[in-house]
Structure 1
Amino acid sequence: MNIASAIQFGALAVVAVFTLVRLPLAIQGRNPMLFWGLAAATIGVALSIPSIYLPADALLGGANHANLVLRYATYGVVALIGGSAAAAFQAPKVRRIILGLPGLVVLAATAIATTVLFSMCDMPVSSPGLNGYINQEPVWAYAVLGRIYPAYIAACLIVPAFRVAATGRRPALLRVGSALVGVALAEIVIWSALWVTGQQTGVWDYILPHSSVIILTAGLAAVAVYGIAAKKKEKQSLLTHSYAR
């Protein structure tokens, strides 16, 4: 197994485990948005691995429809997790940009444009990453669009993430989680910018997006653990206060 495959399967394992951990909490109604975002991330990461992509695409007809599913899953990931992260960072304006009317309009337009561009592509044989068709102009435009939306959401969240991380009065666990999320978001922006500008990134085309998934998941886990601990502490304080009365 080479480094690209190792980091791909590592990212899949990390995000799948955290998704399963969040499932009981989502059933209880505790931040279901985060769970669905992680579930979409699991699908997206799985479909980015050739050994999973090829059989999945074969089931869908073998004409790279699995890549379209991957794009939709990616959009769902960044929208749902982005909205959840904005709430955790207490950034209501950013959350409105992501999940408010402007953000939903951008998301809908991106999804429609993605579908239209995909229909214009001639890709009769399965090709992981569409590497066999990237010289087609519609395929290139389709691939670029698939990176612009995640970069847009990531760029919206970088400042709130690092602002929380740099605030000394915030709890250490929240600061560490926010810093990790900020690093992951920066990786997404850098990867998207390098790819769109045509830079030859080699193995980094695998390392940057998949390591960002691992780091983002770790950061979200830290923020989630902080949130659970804070709620428990708040309940204990309320019980103590009631008992004292």
Structure 2
Amino acid sequence: MNIASAIQFGALVVVAVFTLVRLPLAVQGRNPMLFWGLAATTVGVALSIPSIYLPVDAWLGGENHANLILRYATYGVVALIGGSAAAAFRAPQVQKIILGLPGLVVLAATVTATTVLFSMGDMPVSSPGLNGYMHQEHIWAYSVLGRIYPAYIAACLIIPAFRVAATAGRPALLRVGSALIGVALAEILTWSVLWVTGRQTGVWDYILPHSSVIVLTAGLAAVAYYGIAARNKQKQSLLTPNYTR
């Protein structure tokens, strides 16, 4: 197994485990948006691995519809997790940009354009990452668009993430989680910019997006654990006999 495959499967295991951990909490109604974002991440990471992509795409007809599902999953990931992160960072304006009317308009336009560009391509044989079809203008534009939307969400969140991480008065666990999320967002931005500008990134085209998934999941886990601990502490305070409002 080479380094690219190792980090791909590593990212899949990390996000799948955290998704399963969040499932009981989501059933209880505790931040289900985070669970669905993680579930979409699991699907997206799985479909980015050739040994999973090829049989799934063959089952779908062998014309790269699995890549279209990967794109939809990616958009869902960044929208849902982006909204959850904005709430955790107490950035209502950023949350509005992501999940409010402006953000939903951007998301709808992105999904529509992605679908149209995909339908205009000629891709009769499965090709992971569509690497065999990048000479087609419509497919190249489709691939660029698939990186622009995550970069847009990352750009919206990166300043709030590092601002929370740098705030001395905030709890340590929240600051660590926010810093990890900020690093993951920086990786996403770097990967998107390098790819769109045509830079030859080699193995980094696998390392940057998949390591960002691992770092982002660790950051979300830290922030989620902080939220659970803070909620439990508040419940204990309310039950204390000497508690005064």
Contact 2:12 2:45 in 1 (8 A): yes
User: Normalising by structure 2, what TM-score?
Assistant: 0.99
Q: Provide the residue aligned with 1:185 in structure 2.
A: 185
- Deviation at 1:135? 1.0
Q: Distance in 1 between matches of 2:58 and 2:137?
A: 24
Amino acid at match of 1:101: L
Q: Provide the residue aligned with 1:204 in structure 2.
A: 204
Q: Distance in 2 between matches of 1:44 and 1:61?
A: 19
CA RMSD of aligned residues (A): 1.0
Amino acid at match of 1:169: G
Alignment deviations for residues 28-51 of structure 1 (CA, whole Å, 9 cap, x no partner) = 000000000000000000000000
Amino acid at match of 1:153: I
Alignment deviations for residues 181-208 of structure 1 (CA, whole Å, 9 cap, x no partner) = 0000000000000000000000000000
Q: Provide the residue aligned with 1:83 in structure 2.
A: 83
Amino acid at match of 1:240: T
Q: Provide the residue aligned with 2:134 in structure 1.
A: 134
User: Normalising by structure 1, what TM-score?
Assistant: 0.99
Amino acid at match of 1:13: V
Alignment deviations for residues 24-71 of structure 1 (CA, whole Å, 9 cap, x no partner) = 000000000000000000000000000000000001100000000000
Report the CA distance shift for 1:243/1:103 in structure 2 as closer, same or farther (over 3 A).
Answer: closer
Q: Distance in 2 between matches of 1:85 and 1:238?
A: 27
Amino acid at match of 1:3: I
Q: How does 1:10-89 map to 2 (within 5 A)?
A: 10-89=10-89
Q: Distance in 2 between matches of 1:26 and 1:211?
A: 25
Q: For structure 2, list consecutive stretches of 5 or more residues without a partner in the other structure.
A: none
Q: Distance in 2 between matches of 1:243 and 1:47?
A: 52
Q: Provide the residue aligned with 2:175 in structure 1.
A: 175
- The number of residues matched between the two structures is 245
Amino acid at match of 1:204: W
Amino acid at match of 2:217: T
Report the CA distance shift for 1:244/1:185 in structure 2 as closer, same or farther (over 3 A).
Answer: closer
- Deviation at 1:118? 0.1
Amino acid at match of 1:198: G
Q: Provide the residue aligned with 1:5 in structure 2.
A: 5
Q: Distance in 1 between matches of 2:32 and 2:86?
A: 15
Identity %: 85
Q: Distance in 2 between matches of 1:103 and 1:139?
A: 25
Report the CA distance shift for 1:125/1:231 in structure 2 as closer, same or farther (over 3 A).
Answer: same
Q: How does 1:107-118 map to 2 (within 5 A)?
A: 107-118=107-118
- Which portions of structure 1, spanning 4 or more consecutive aligned residues, are displaced by more than 3 angstroms? 241-245
Amino acid at match of 2:36: W
Q: For structure 1, list consecutive stretches of 5 or more residues without a partner in the other structure.
A: none
